[in-house]
Amino acid sequence: MERAAPRLVRAQPLLRMADVSKRYGDVVALEHVSAEVYPGEVLGIVGESGSGKSTLLRMMNLEELPDEGRYSLDLPGVPEHLFAMDGYARRMLRARHIGIVYQNPHLGLLMKNSSSGNVAERLLVAGERRFSVLREKAKQSLEASEFPLERMDAPPIELSGGMQQRVQLAKAIALEPAVLLLDEPTTGLDVSVQALVLDTLKRLQRERRITMVIVSHDLGVIRTMADRVMVMRRGRVVEAGLVDQVFQDPQAAYTQALVHAKL
Amino acid sequence: MSLDTLTRPWKAFSYGFLDASAKREMRRKILKAIAVPGCQMPYASREVPIARGWGTGGLQATLTLVNPGSVVKVIDQGADDSVNAASIRRFIARVSGAATTLDTVQATIIQSRHRVPEEKLRADQVLVLQVPNPEPLRPVEPNMSVARQMHADADYGRMWLQLYEQIVRSGRVMQGASYPSLVNGRHVMTPSPIPRWDVPKLNMAKHLTILSAGREKRLFAVPPFTRVEPLVFDDVPYRVEDHAGLTCHRSGARGVFMNEIPQEDGTSLHEVSDSQLGVKLLNGEAPGEMWYRDGVFRP
């Protein structure tokens, strides 16, 4: 498999989560989970259903708060303890600095609005009020996501799953976010479309050096996309390391089972 | 001292129909609404003897404000003589003893559905607008809890998205009435279904405007000298209806908002929407100072 050369990264992590725990009643969703993502890096999170990977991603997107733990983004003017911010500040920070692509496009898109309008919404939240600029930037973002521009005003509800994911991606990158979060971005797509979406993501990562966190239960996706991987089970991190290292020489029994089951 | 001197004779209903506690609540909510222009205030919305959706919100506000010295005018889509306007006017006069008028200039309280009169309102006049749907975010956010949060955050991006979609689909802004407007630079309101023509009349106006939705149990206000700015893109200016060149077939008036009357031969005639203005012009009376001159808004 063709892989990009290892990227040089800064010593200071861009995203840092420390000791995050979350319970839903008796169910432990996350238990003392820590994660760091460096600028320009792609962190993959794998694990079975219910392992806590999507909960962790929602926390990175500040949609959900933990019972305990800290979260910081190394960006100018951003407070150190993001979970302590009020709801408004969290929403504004999310709108300006974090992009997300959901597994289910219904969560990320206004299905009856135009595709370009979906991208424009992101720019409107940031205060852009010129129609011509909204139009142009929406076009640029859709183009970067390899979305066919002749369909830019079609509502996502009329588009295929792959096209909907491209609209989500265009929306997520419209404001050039500091971190792009991807929650199972290719699940439910057929293999050929999956490959096309992954190619687009790889190209964007290569060209724009976007810091990404990608959650998937598909080890192939993680292998293709990520620099480092975090394996989760029952709310805990069972193993973390460079992708090649973890997949070629898994240490934890669960990771071994996962890798061998896949292979 | 006898009991008679301390009590009043029994009456079938309180002055102005609403009981004292209802009016007290309305007054408090109106004051709150004036204090935070454009912000929707919930209120109990009592039963009044007209059906919900027929102006119960406006009627409750009027009944709270009215006193024996008031002069009340009621209009329905610009007309003083529609059944609804006439019934409400008669009811207010009956329960309050207030005088009624058809003349905008003479009125102290003007209750209206869907129009702001063409003659300029003064500082001593109050405009009460009946509102069917007070929530401007409803078309873009059906969950009202989320909509309230969006108001709190002044998160109005989707209102512009609605305009964006209209321009993309139709080449222009299609919002004809209830044009979303930013009040005092903070809250977006729907200025009841008044046409675009009437929205500039609320901006920095001398009069107080109270907008009340009885069915939805919410009221909001535009105090005098408050900014009311229709939401627009920086490069797509706000436009009122293109009525400047139309002529009223009855009064010969030009440069005011017109009703279109389709004819059997496929053509249309137009007549002044503000019916009493049309009557004044037909009678050769001089109208009061107008918001628009020659079809151009003159603040």
Q: What is the pLDDT of residue B299?
A: 81
B233 contact residues in A (CB cutoff 8 A): 129-131, 134
Class of domain B20-137+165-225: alpha beta
Q: What is the pLDDT of residues B101-146, one digit of tens each?
A: 999 999 999 999 999 999 999 999 999 999 999 999 999 999 999 9
Contact B164 A124 (CB under 8 A): yes
- β-bridge mates for residue B181, sequence order: B189, B230
Contact B154, B92 (CB under 8 A): no
Q: How far is B39 from chain A (nearest CA, A)?
A: 18
Q: What is the pLDDT of residue A191?
A: 84
Distance (Å, rounded) from C-alpha B30 to C-alpha B36?
10
Contact B234 A117 (CB under 8 A): no
Q: What is the pLDDT of residues A31-53, one digit of tens each?
A: 999 999 999 999 999 998 889 99
Pairing of strands B208-213, B109-113: unpaired
Q: What is the pLDDT of residues A195-235, one digit of tens each?
A: 888 898 999 888 888 999 999 988 888 998 999 999 999 99
Which site among B140, B148, B233 would you substitute to test the A interface, given the most A Cβ atoms closer than 10 Å to its Cβ? B233
Three-state DSSP state, B131? coil
Q: What is the pLDDT of residue A180?
A: 96
* Strands in chain A per DSSP E: 15-24, 27-37, 42-47, 68-73, 98-101, 179-183, 211-215, 228-233, 236-242
Tokens for B108, please give them.
């102290």
Q: What is the pLDDT of residue A1?
A: 45
Q: What is the pLDDT of residue A10?
A: 53
Contact B164 A132 (CB under 8 A): no
Q: What is the pLDDT of residue A48?
A: 87
Contact B234 A124 (CB under 8 A): no
A117 contact residues in B (CB cutoff 8 A): 161, 164-165, 168
- Full pLDDT tens readout for chain A, 263 residues: 445 555 555 578 999 999 999 999 999 999 999 999 999 999 999 998 889 999 999 999 999 999 999 999 999 999 989 999 998 899 889 988 999 999 999 999 999 999 999 999 999 988 899 999 999 999 999 999 999 999 999 999 999 999 999 999 999 999 999 999 999 988 878 888 888 888 989 998 888 889 999 999 888 889 989 999 999 999 999 999 999 999 999 888 989 888 887 54
Pairing of strands A42-47, A27-37: unpaired
Which residue from A88, A116, A124 is facing B160, i.e. has the nearest CB?
Answer: A124
B164 contact residues in A (CB cutoff 8 A): 117, 120, 124, 131, 134
Residues of chain A contacting B, Cβ within 8 Å? 87-88, 91-92, 110, 113-114, 116-117, 120-121, 124-125, 129-132, 134, 153
Contact A121 B165 (CB under 8 A): no
Q: What is the pLDDT of residues B40-49, one digit of tens each?
A: 999 999 999 9
Distance (Å, rounded) from C-alpha B8 to C-alpha A257?
89
Q: Which of the residues in chain B have pLDDT under 70?
A: none
Which site among B155, B168, B172 would you substitute to test the A interface, given the most A Cβ atoms closer than 10 Å to its Cβ? B168
Q: How far is B87 from chain A (nearest CA, A)?
A: 42
DSSP state of A158: G
Closest CA to A224 of A8, A46, A61: A46
What is the domain partition of chain B in residue ranges?
20-137+165-225
What ipTM was assigned to the predicted interfaces of this complex? 0.86
Query: CATH assignment of A31-109+178-262?
Result: 3.40.50.300
Tokens for A199, please give them.
């190619």
Contact B157 A125 (CB under 8 A): yes
Contact B161 A117 (CB under 8 A): yes
**Which residue is listed with tokens 């109208």?**
B287
Distance of CA B21 to the CA centre of its chain: 25
Contact A40, A207 (CB under 8 A): no
Tokens for B218, please give them.
């919410």
Closest CA to B223 of B126, B289, B154: B126
What is the domain partition of chain A in residue ranges?
31-109+178-262
Contact A121 B236 (CB under 8 A): no
Which residue from A88, A124, A131 is facing B153, i.e. has the nearest CB?
Answer: A88
Task: Tell me how many residue pairs between chain A and chain B have CB atoms under 8 A apart.
Answer: 46
- β-bridge mates for residue A33, sequence order: A20
A88 contact residues in B (CB cutoff 8 A): 152-153
Q: How far is A111 from chain B (nearest CA, A)?
A: 12
